[in-house]
Amino acid sequence: MALFGFVLTASAQEEIIDSLEGKKVVLDEVLVQAVRVTKDFPITFSDLDKVELAPRNLGQDVPILMNFMPAVVTTSDAGAGVGYTSIRVRGSDATRVNVTINGVPYNDAESQGTFWVNMPDFASSTQSLQLQRGVGTSTNGAGAFGASLNMLTDAFSKEAYARISSSVGSFNTLRNNVKFSTGLMNDHFEFSGRLSRVTSDGYVDRAASELDGYFLQGVYNDDNTLIKALLFGGHEVTYQAWNGITADQLEDNRTYNSAGEYTGNNGNTQYYDNEVDDYKQDHFQLHWYETWSSDWDTHLAVHYTPGRGFFEQYREDDDFATYGLEPITVNGDLVETTDLIRRRWLDNDFYGTIFSATYNSDNLELIMGGGYNEYKGDHFGEIIWAEYASNSEIRDRYYDDTSTKTDFNVYTKANYKLTDQWSLFGDVQYRGVTYEANGNDTGLVDDSFNFFNPKAGVTFDLNRNNNFYFSYARANREPNRNDYESGSPKPEKLNDFELGWRYVSPSFQLNTNVYYMRYKDQLVLTGELNDVGAPLRSNVGDSYRLGLEIEANIDISNSFRWRPNIALSDNKNLDFYFERDGILQDLGNTNIAYSPELIAGNIISYMPNANFQVSLLSKFVGKQYMGNIDSETSVLDSYTQTDFNIQYTINMNSFIKSIELSGLVNNIFDSDIVSNGYFYTFDDDYSNPGTITTIEGAGYYPQAGINFLIGATVNF
C-alpha cells in the first residue's frame, strides 16, 4: 500500500506504465482531485493502486482485497470472499464509510450501506483507491463517520490492448473476464470495456453466488478537455446466508445454513432451492473536465443509477394477518396460517450531479464544489405461492411503500502554503437532506436536516523527510431507513481530532497518527438484525474512539519489502443505560460494538526481479463485543489470518505480449475464524411468573479454513 498519494493537474499529463495494460495517462486522476488528498493535507489516508491489487485480484470482492489496510476489518456472509462482503474501519461499519466512484456517491441513499455484490469483479476496472480514515475531507454523499473510500476507475489507455483472465479455486469458485481497449484513436478517442462472470458455491452450505458484471467506457481527450462516459454494473443471484449459526453449531457444524429450511410432507427437513437475493444495478456517469488556464480547471459530472430486484423466501406456517388475508375454513377447521413463498421487491432510481472548480497557484490550492442527488425507491411485497391462498389475488402486493431522499451539498476547501514549512488547511461544507417514507417498518417519515461541517488543520514540513500535521473536523449525519424502525432516531454528530507524523525516504516510509473521535448521539450497532438481515442501530448519548495507527513501508533489500501496520484503540459508550431484568441500569462506560482494541496487518514480499513476486500476508483482529453491554455472550474471539500470494509474469515477443500466473492460498494455517456475528436480548416473563429475565443470544458468521485461488491472465 502506498502511504502517500499525489494529485496532478491537467497540465501535468505525464505518462505512467501500468504493468497490466500498457500506457495509462494520469490525467484521469483529475476526476477525483476534489475528494482526494496528498501528504500536503492534514488528513490521515492510505492509497492502494491496481498494480498492488493485481496479484490477489482473482474474483474476491473489493472489501476482501482491502483487508490488509490499516484499521480495516472485513467479512463475508458466504465465508469465502465472494457474494455479500463488507468492511469496517476504526470500528465503524459500512453504513458509515462514505464511498465514491470517480467522485460520485455509491452508498445506497436509504440504508447508507455499500453492496459490492452488485458490481462483481469491480477491482478489475479500478485504477486506484484512497481510504481516508476519520472524517477526512469534504466529499459527496452521506457524511463519513469512520472513513471515506474514494475509487478511481480505469484510466484511458493510449495503446490498444486485449486481456483474457480466468481463475478457479475452492468451493467451485470460478472467475472469467475479458477486457479490451482500442487505444487512443486519432489522438482523441478511446473505447474500452470489460465483461465478467464470477460463480462460487461459497464455504457456507448453499451460499452460492452467480455474478455478472460489465464496464464500458468512452473517452474524448485533448490538451485541455477530458470527457468520459461510463456504463457499468451487474446482476447478482445469491443464495441467502444472513441467518448465521449458533455457538453449538460453530463447534460441530460450521457450514450450516438455515435459510430456506422447511419441513416437507414426509416430515423430513428440506431446503427451498430459490431462497435467493436477485438484483440488477446499472451505473451511468458522464464526466467533463476542462482546463481553462494555467490556474483554473473545472469538473462537472451527471450520473444515474437504476436498481431493481427482490429476495425470495419460503415461509413456513406464516400468519394470514401478516399479509392482510382473511382466515378460511378447510374441512371444518379454521385456518389462519399457511406455508407460502414471498418476494420482497426494491425498485429504485438514484440520479444527480457533482461539480467542482479548482484554482492552483504556487502557494494556494482552492477547490469549490458540491452536488445534488435524488433517490426514489419503491418497496413492495408479493406472494408468488401459498398452500392456502385465502382471499388473495394474483400479483397482490401485501405492502407497497415509497420513499424519496434529496441530498444537496456545497463545499469550499483551501490549502495555503504560508512558508516553505507551514501550510494551513480550511474546509467548510453545507449539506441539506430531506427524507420521506411511508413504510410499515419506518412509519410515516418526513424529515429535513441542515448540516454545517467545518474542518481545519495545519501541516509542518520539518525537512524533506519529515512531515507533521494536526486537524479538526466536524461531521453530522442523518439516520438511515432502518434506524426509523426503532422509533425517532436523532442525527449524530462527531468532532474528529487527528495528529500525525509522516517520514519519507527512498527505502523507508512511515505514517503514524493519533486520533480522538468524540460523538454525540452516535448511532451504534446494537448487534441485532431486522427481518431482512440488516444490522440495527440505536442512538447513544456520548461516546468516543481514541486510537493510535502506525503503518510503514520498508525496503529491507533490493528484493525484500516489509509493510506492517497496527491500530490500537479505545472505543467507549459513556454512562450507557440498558434495561436488564426489567430494571433500567447504568452500566457506566461500555465498549462500543464491533470495535476491537487491536488490529494489525503485515505484508512481507520477495521480488527477486520484475516478473516474480511472493508475498506472505497476515492479519490479526483482537477480541470484540457484538453488543454494547459488555456481555460475554456477545464476544467475538480474536483471530489471525495468514495468506500466501504468488505471481509470475512470462513476457513474450509475439502476438501474445505476456502471460501472468497468480496463486492465492487464504488462511494457510486453517484457523477457525469468525469475523462477524449478531447479538440479541429479549425479556422472558413466562418461565417465572411475576419476574422478568433478560435472555441473551448470539449468532456467528464463520469464515473458510484453508482455501485457494489460482489464475492466469493473457495480455494481447
pLDDT tens digits for 13-65?
333 333 334 444 456 778 888 888 888 899 999 999 999 999 999 999 999 99
Q: Rounded to an integer, what distance in angstroms lies between the CA atom of residue 237 and that of residue 284?
A: 22
Q: Rounded to an integer, what distance in angstroms lies between the CA atom of residue 388 and that of residue 672?
A: 44
pLDDT grade, residue 162 (50/70/90)?
Answer: very high
Give the pLDDT mean for 149-156: 93
> Which tens digit of pLDDT belongs to each residue from 456-488?
999 999 999 999 999 999 999 999 988 888 777
pLDDT for the residue numbered 169: 95
pLDDT grade, residue 1 (50/70/90)?
Answer: low
Cell triple for residue 714?
Answer: 493473457
pLDDT for the residue numbered 12: 30
H or E element that contains 452? strand 445-461
Question: Is the pLDDT reported for residue 192 higher than 60?
Answer: yes
- CA proximity to 141, closest of 370, 404, 450, 427: 370
pLDDT grade, residue 10 (50/70/90)?
Answer: very low
> Which tens digit of pLDDT belongs to each residue from 51-109?
999 999 999 999 999 999 999 999 999 999 999 999 999 999 999 999 999 999 999 99
H or E element that contains 62? helix 62-65
Q: Rounded to an integer, what distance in angstroms lies between the CA atom of residue 167 and that of residue 712?
A: 6
Helices (runs of H) and strands (runs of E) counted in the chain: 3, 44
Give the pLDDT mean for 393-399: 89
Q: Rounded to an integer, what distance in angstroms lies between the CA atom of residue 257 and that of residue 204?
A: 7
Question: Is the pLDDT reported for residue 293 higher than 80?
Answer: yes
Cell triple for residue 514?
Answer: 493519533
pLDDT for the residue numbered 140: 85
Question: Is the pLDDT reported for residue 187 higher than 80?
Answer: yes
> Which tens digit of pLDDT belongs to each residue from 111-141?
999 999 999 999 999 999 999 999 998 888 8
Report which DSSP code applies to 37.
Answer: -
pLDDT for the residue numbered 685: 60
> Which tens digit of pLDDT belongs to each residue from 616-675?
999 999 999 999 999 999 999 999 999 999 999 999 888 899 999 999 999 999 999 999
Q: How many CA atoms lie within 13 A of 240 on its CB side?
A: 23
Question: Is the pLDDT reported for residue 393 higher than 90?
Answer: no
- Percent pLDDT > 90 in the chain is 79
Predicted model pTM? 0.91
Q: How many angstroms separate the first and last alpha carbons of the chain? A: 28
DSSP string, 17-64: EETTTEEEEGGGGGGGTTT---TTSS--EEEEEHHHHGGG-SS--HHH
Q: Are 564 and 619 in contact (CB under 8 A)?
A: no
pLDDT grade, residue 543 (50/70/90)?
Answer: very high
pLDDT grade, residue 6 (50/70/90)?
Answer: very low
Question: Is the pLDDT reported for residue 689 higher than 80?
Answer: no
Residue 568 β-bridge partners? 548, 598
pLDDT for the residue numbered 261: 94
pLDDT for the residue numbered 122: 95
> Which tens digit of pLDDT belongs to each residue from 416-461?
999 999 999 999 999 999 999 998 778 889 999 999 999 999 999 9
Q: Rounded to an integer, what distance in angstroms lies between the CA atom of residue 93 and that of residue 554?
A: 30
pLDDT for the residue numbered 686: 57
pLDDT for the residue numbered 20: 34
Q: Rounded to an integer, what distance in angstroms lies between the CA atom of residue 43 and that of residue 127?
A: 22
Looking at CATH, the fold of the domain delimited by 222-715 is given as: Maltoporin; Chain A (2.40.170)
Cβ neighbours of residue 670 closer than 8 Å, sequence gap 6 or more: 705, 706
Its sign, for the CA torsion 93, 94, 99, 105, is negative
Question: Is the pLDDT reported for residue 716 higher than 90?
Answer: yes
H or E element that contains 252? helix 247-252
Residues in the chain: 716
Q: For 148-185, give one letter per residue: b (16+ CB within 10 A) or e.
A: bbbbbbbbbbbebbebebbbbbbbebbbbbebbbbbbe
Residue 614 β-bridge partners? 606, 646
For residue 471, the Cα-to-chain-centroid distance in whole angstroms is: 25
- CA proximity to 420, closest of 363, 501, 469: 363
Q: Rounded to an integer, what distance in angstroms lies between the CA atom of residue 16 and that of residue 32?
A: 17
DSSP string, 599-628: EEEEEEEEEEETTEEEEEEEEEE--EESSS
Question: Is the pLDDT reported for residue 7 higher than 70?
Answer: no
Q: Mean pLDDT over all residues of the chain? A: 91
CB count, 10 Å around CB of 506?
6
HEC string of 267-323 equals: CCEEECCCCEEEEEEEEEEEEEEEECCCCEEEEEEEEEEEEEEEEEEEEEEEEHHHH
Question: Is the pLDDT reported for residue 205 higher than 80?
Answer: yes
pLDDT for the residue numbered 256: 96
Report which DSSP code applies to 247.
Answer: H
Burial class of residue 410, CB neighbours in 10 A (0-12, 13-18, 19+): middle
Question: Is the pLDDT reported for residue 9 higher than 80?
Answer: no
